[in-house]
Chains A and B, each alone.
Chain A
Amino acid sequence: MSYDSHHKKENFIQKYIFSVDHKIIGLQYGITSLLFLLFGFSLMLIMRWQLAYPETPVPLIGSLLGETGILLPEIYNSLGAMHGTIMIFLGVVPLAVGAFGNYIVPLQIGAPDMAFPKLNAASYWSFFVGGVIMIASFFTPEGTARSGWTSYPPLSIFESGQTMWLLGMVFLITSSLLGSINFIVTIVQLRAPGLSWFRLPFFVWAQFVTSFLLVLAFPPLEAAAVLQLMDRVAGTSFFLPSGLVYAGSVVDVSGSGSPLLWQHLFWFLAHPEVYVLILPAMGIVGEILANNTRKPLWGYKSLVYATVFLGFMSFIVWAHHMFLTGMGTTMSAFFQTTTMIISIPSVVILTSFFISLWGGSIRFNTPMLFALAFLPMFGIGGLTGLPLGFAASDIHLHDTYYVIGHFHYVVAPGTIFGLFAGIYYWFPKVTGRKMSEALGKLHFWPSLVFMNGIFMPMFIQGLAGVSRRLWDGGQLYAHAQGVLQWNEFMSISAFCLAAAQIPFILNVLMSLFNGQKVDRNPWGATTVEWSAPSPPLPHVNFEEPLEIYRGPYEYSVPGANKDFSSQTVK
């Protein structure tokens, strides 16, 4: 039996715009989210200029910021809030889950498509509308949200621009919900015959747990967004306490609400969200490590159990973001205990990855370099999180640059390096051509250096107590004087990091047309997606239905005639 690949002729719009093919939707997610990542990064470059050279006109785009060309505090706050929102909800999550999940998961489980192709398209377009609303808010008279990506009340209730943000979030949340329902059903239902749970590649496991986190953690934020919208539009006071004074007068609301309620609902989403950001990247890194060490991932089952446990625990650690709110020592004790427990599965995963390197014949190609860099970078990000997980040390570090350094190490040189690794690794599958190794290395090494140049000094500033939200980077504070000189260093690193992305952009564009042509399995990999043609066939992926005969990482099996044994070959 072979798939019926004969289908109706499609015009351009059906094929590339309103497609229901998971591969096209994956590419739509990928292109959109990469553009958002670039945009969100540019916002930060403007802010870094102001931090390095306070109150000097911003070069090139200064005229957009007002007559003086100086970045004003209100706009600084706008850019800060939108940088966070765009990077997380419009950049990393859609790239990690929407793009890689959509493109790779059905291929890795040997399925012809996602379980609900139309729902899949709906989730992309819902994401797109959410993105348009967020970007449109830059052009409204009220401006964008400016209360941080966390949107803490009471400030977020009074600041203009927040309503658009909430509206955009509703679309983004809907998109994530539809997408993750689709992933769960696809992984449970559409695995090829013989592909049992413990034969799934680690990447599929990571996406599976990620989808559960999104399905269960996002709705409380939707609830919170509805409540905040009511506070802004209908005059309720869910998040406003009685007798609150704003702009010199008592706020006229019925009162008795609580700003803490928002923080609980928000972090109930936003802590699992951290694992939504990191798990897909870990999945990608696992695939690439096994492929380029030419040996199985060490401790595959413990990796899977650790990931599932991590997903479960991520629902009961949220209040470690709230030690400073005075919620009480009992609560703090509980949440710092669970926080320490959740570090165990993360360490299990990272340790398994490190041991996987042991004794391998490592190929240092570009995807592998990014995957290798992920390990220490995520390690630094994870370990610097421990002092934030203890209430006592968190009191000193909370809301300083230390926190910024910590989570950027997890997400920027961590997750984003993992995603870059994935792009270099799967580019041949998507296009049938390899990306240039020379440009890849020209992208990797400067990125690694400048990433650390940006984020390492943040620990120094944070330990000195510099607040993360200051427009001038702490000029007016005595305790900040000794570490202020790092501002310029970090900013120059950031500008250089931007320049280091040029080889990547060139590489993608040039390789599309001039890259070395490859066959279906250029890396000598074992997982199922490499049995499909490059690029896989529209709508059906594989020429014929597959059967799976072995586990995901059978590299260098003694007695085999090659150093890899594909899952689809008997």
Chain B
Amino acid sequence: MQVPYVVDERPDTGLINSKLGIWIFLASEVMLFGGLFSAYVFLRMAAPEGDFAYWGSKLSIPMATVNTLVLITSSVTVVLSWASLKLKDFEKYKLYMGLTLLCASIFLVIKYFEYTGKFHHGVYPSSSTFMGIYFTLTGLHGLHIIGGIIVMGYMWLPIGSKLWETDPEHFTNRVENAGLYWHFVDLVWIFLFPVLYLL
């Protein structure tokens, strides 16, 4: 038995199952981060005047700027890896997906130094409501990065990419869906950066 529309589009909806699934998943992710961003707004309004700005000034803007560039680069390379599969160039796919994974790891390393720098100066989530929401938001975002690394790493290593040999179109769709998720994770950071570091 085979569930229909795994690889071929359903004619009247123009969709494959997984494409619709990933978009609905992303909708729920929007609500997850939407909930946290509204919590940020609520807490900022409830906080004493200038409290958020004071604690926000302790964050390192240069590190976050580098991280923003790293993530944007990874968004480009993940598209290139998918485009390579569309052009039937598996070696290029390996290269670009590898670069994406590299960028994701660099992001986490920089984040690690940011976190330990804070801890080193005695700044913890409990230090202030701003630091609490900062660690919660970036921590949850970091978990999403790790999730992306696991999924894309699986597709990069032979265990996941062997599907290319048997069903190249199915594999390309998987990479596309992972790419959509990765863009979302990138987009969340594009919101986090100004909200936490610049405001």
Contact = CB atoms under 8 A, between A and B. Distances in A.
Interface of A: 3-5, 7, 111-117, 177, 181-182, 184-185, 188-190, 215-224, 226-227, 230, 234-238, 253-258, 261, 264-265, 268, 539-540
Interface string B124-144: 111111001101100010000
26 contacts: A3-B1, A111-B3, A112-B4, A115-B3, A115-B5, A116-B18, A181-B24, A182-B21, A188-B20, A189-B4, A189-B5, A189-B13, A190-B17, A215-B27, A216-B27, A219-B29, A219-B32, A220-B31, A234-B125, A234-B135, A236-B125, A256-B129, A258-B43, A261-B43, A261-B46, A539-B1
A262 to B, nearest CB: 9
B21 A181 contact: yes
Contacts of A4: 1
A227 B129 CA distance: 11
A506 to B, nearest CB: 36
Contacts of B13: 188-189
B140 A256 contact: no
A219 B127 contact: no
Q: How large is the interface on B (under 10, 10 to 19, 20 to 34, 35 or more residues)?
A: 35 or more
Nearest to A223: B35
B194 interface: no
Contact of A257 (B17, B21, B27, B46): B46
B157 interface: no
Interface string B1-30: 101110000100101011011001101110
A115 B15 CA distance: 13
B132 A237 contact: yes
Contacts of B42: 258, 261, 264
Interface in B34-70: 34-36, 39, 42-43, 46-48, 51
A209 B140 CA distance: 29
A184 to B, nearest CB: 5
B138 to A, nearest CB: 13
B3 A190 contact: yes
Given A113-B3, A190-B5, A254 B127 contact: yes
Contact of B1 (A7, A177, A184, A219): A7
Contact of A113 (B1, B18, B34, B125): B1
Interface of B: 1, 3-5, 10, 13, 15, 17-18, 20-21, 24-25, 27-29, 31-36, 39, 42-43, 46-48, 51, 124-129, 132-133, 135-136, 140
Contacts of B5: 115, 189-190
Contacts of B127: 254
A238 B20 contact: no
Given A188-B20, A224-B35, A230-B136, A235 B125 contact: yes
Contacts of B128: 254, 256
Contacts of A235: 124-126
A237 B20 CA distance: 38
Q: How would you classify the secondary structure of chain B's contact residues: helix, strand, loop or mixed? A: helix
Q: Sorted from nearest, which 4 A-B pairs have the closest CB atoms?
A: A220-B35, A235-B126, A236-B132, A223-B35
Contacts of A3: 1
A268 B32 CA distance: 12
A385 B17 CA distance: 40
Contacts of B140: 226
Contacts of A185: 17, 20-21, 24
A197 to B, nearest CB: 10
A215 B34 CA distance: 13
A87 B48 CA distance: 41
Given A181-B24, A188-B20, A256-B51, 19 more contacts: A111-B3, A112-B4, A115-B5, A116-B17, A185-B20, A188-B15, A189-B10, A190-B5, A190-B17, A220-B31, A223-B33, A223-B35, A226-B136, A227-B39, A255-B129, A256-B129, A258-B46, A261-B43, A539-B1
B27 to A, nearest CB: 6
A116 to B, nearest CB: 7
Contacts of B51: 256
A111 B133 CA distance: 45
Contact of B132 (A114, A234, A258, A265): A234
B172 to A, nearest CB: 18
Nearest to B46: A258
Contacts of A227: 36, 39, 136
A181 B35 CA distance: 19
B132 A230 contact: yes
A497 to B, nearest CB: 37
Contacts of A218: 28, 31
Q: Which of A182, A258, A268 has the most CB of B within 10 A?
A: A258
Given A116-B17, A189-B5, A261-B43, A236 B48 contact: no
Contacts of A220: 31-32, 34-35
A182 B25 CA distance: 10
Nearest to B6: A115
A190 to B, nearest CB: 7
A238 to B, nearest CB: 6
Contacts of A184: 20, 24
A171 to B, nearest CB: 15
A532 to B, nearest CB: 14
B21 to A, nearest CB: 5
A189 B39 contact: no
B48 to A, nearest CB: 6
A253 B21 CA distance: 42
B49 to A, nearest CB: 11
A224 B33 CA distance: 11
A268 B51 CA distance: 28
Contacts of B124: 234-235
Contacts of A181: 21, 24-25, 28
Given A188-B15, A190-B4, A219-B28, A234 B126 contact: yes
A219 B43 contact: no
